[in-house]
Amino acid sequence: MAASRQFSVQVEVLLRDGIADPQGATIERALPALGLGGVTAVRAGKSFRFDLAASDESDALAQATVVADRLLANPVIEESQVTVRPVTRAR
Amino acid sequence: MAPRVGVVLFPGTNCEHDAVQAVERLGGSADLIWHGATTAAGYDALILPGGFAHGDYLRPGAIARFSPVMDTVAAFAHDGGPVVGICNGFQVLTEAGLLPGALQKNRGLRFLCTTATLRVEQDDTALTAGVPVGTELAIPINHFEGNYTCDAATLAQLRDEGRIVLRYVDNPNGSVDDIAGVCNAGRNVVGLMPHPERASDPLLGSEDGVVLLDALLRTAGAAASAA
């Protein structure tokens, strides 16, 4: 078996373009109360972080993508962006 | 023999007894099926009732899809057995891929707890068999994520195949094409956001849900005698 390494994964889930985002719209409407009327295109989403054992970075990305596509995001209305980086151990 | 209905109970489901009581009041028999169950043998229909399965964590239905019972529900549906998902049960069926589309947060971010008027659009599904198209029903809704969403191709397919089962007369939540309920291609799996079991007794203010639940029991009875 290939030596497994630890990877740190971040998955960001946002609603697809064209899907109404009532949370983002509500946040945007609240901002003028802060005196910040210039903020636009607010979108609300979710962020997930987890660690993963994989043989290499492409294996880690493949596994993390399964997690993102099959569980964390509903592809009917959401899209996900997966970022993988090796965990650097303190020596 | 009275049609036997299995009412699926996930951790966090909270409308299971309402469903059981409504079925029994209409002459059916009903049992709760725990979400860890791996068989639905002996049942003529399954109901996935409302509530907050697995706390609605992540998304409504997202975790429930992985409950062991869902393989059983899928096999039952695949064999043509009548399956109805009410509210959270509808969300579970979409997450499980047994029905198309998804339920997104309501337009305007409003939690809705009111009575909606529905129009029956199809008279040949597990939940509407024999109910005249155009029948209007006053049935409670109670949801935050009931805004039915699907892509344009799916919507066109649902329209072409007559799979939009129920529409809101006055769209409360932003659902595309006023959709309150849809069915699968086999017409034996139906999901709807409104709660017919909460409109099944005069004490509840409306009995309009009875025509839907009666239709389900008739479908279940027919499935039972054909088996």
DSSP labels for B93-139? HHHTTSSSSEEEPPGGG--EEEEEEEEE--SSSTTTTTPPTT-EEEE
For residue A80, give the CATH number of its domain.
Answer: 3.30.1280.10
What average pLDDT is seen over chain B?
A: 96
Q: Is B50 helix (H, G, I), strand (E, B) or coil?
A: coil
Q: What is the pLDDT of residue A2?
A: 58
pLDDT digits (tens, 9 = 90+) for B122-146: 999 999 999 999 999 999 999 999 9
Assembly ipTM? 0.82
Q: Which domain holds residue A71?
A: 5-86
| Residue A59 resides in a domain | yes
Residues B96, B88: Cα–Cα separation, whole Å = 12
Question: Which residues on A lie below 8 Å from B182 (Cβ)?
Answer: none
- A66 Cβ under 8 Å from any chain B Cβ: no
| Residue A91 resides in a domain | no
Local confidence band at B225 (pLDDT 50, 70, 90 cut-offs): confident
Task: Report whether B135 contacts B123 (CB < 8 A).
Answer: no
Question: Which residues on A lie below 8 Å from B95 (Cβ)?
Answer: 74
End-to-end CA distance of chain A: 25
Q: Is B155 helix (H, G, I), strand (E, B) or coil?
A: helix
Local confidence band at A14 (pLDDT 50, 70, 90 cut-offs): very high
Whether residue A42 has pLDDT greater than 60: yes
Nearest to A82 by CA among B200, B111, A54, B165: A54
**Residues B15, B87, B150, B183: which is the catalytic one?**
B87
In single-letter form, the type of residue at position B191 comes to: G
Q: Domain total for chain A?
A: 1
Sequence spans of domains, chain B: 4-226
Q: Which CATH superfamily is domain B4-226 in?
A: Class I glutamine amidotransferase (GATase) domain (3.40.50.880)
Higher pLDDT, A1 or A46: A46
CA distances from residue B167 to A16, B125, B126, B171, B182 in whole angstroms, order as listed? 25, 14, 16, 8, 9
- B95 Cβ under 8 Å from any chain A Cβ: yes
Q: Which residue has the tokens 């499935």?
A: B223
Task: Report whether B14 contacts B56 (CB < 8 A).
Answer: no
Share of chain B above pLDDT 90, in %: 93
Local confidence band at A19 (pLDDT 50, 70, 90 cut-offs): confident
Please say if B87 is a catalytic residue.
Answer: yes
| Residue A29 resides in a domain | yes
Q: What mean pLDDT do residues B144-159 have?
A: 96
Q: What mean pLDDT do residues A43-64 have?
A: 96
pLDDT digits (tens, 9 = 90+) for B167-221: 999 999 999 999 999 999 999 999 999 999 999 999 988 999 999 999 999 999 9
Full-model pTM: 0.92
Residues B83, B69: Cα–Cα separation, whole Å = 13
Strands B179-183, B164-168: parallel, antiparallel or unpaired by DSSP?
A: antiparallel
pLDDT digits (tens, 9 = 90+) for A61-86: 999 999 999 999 999 999 999 999 99
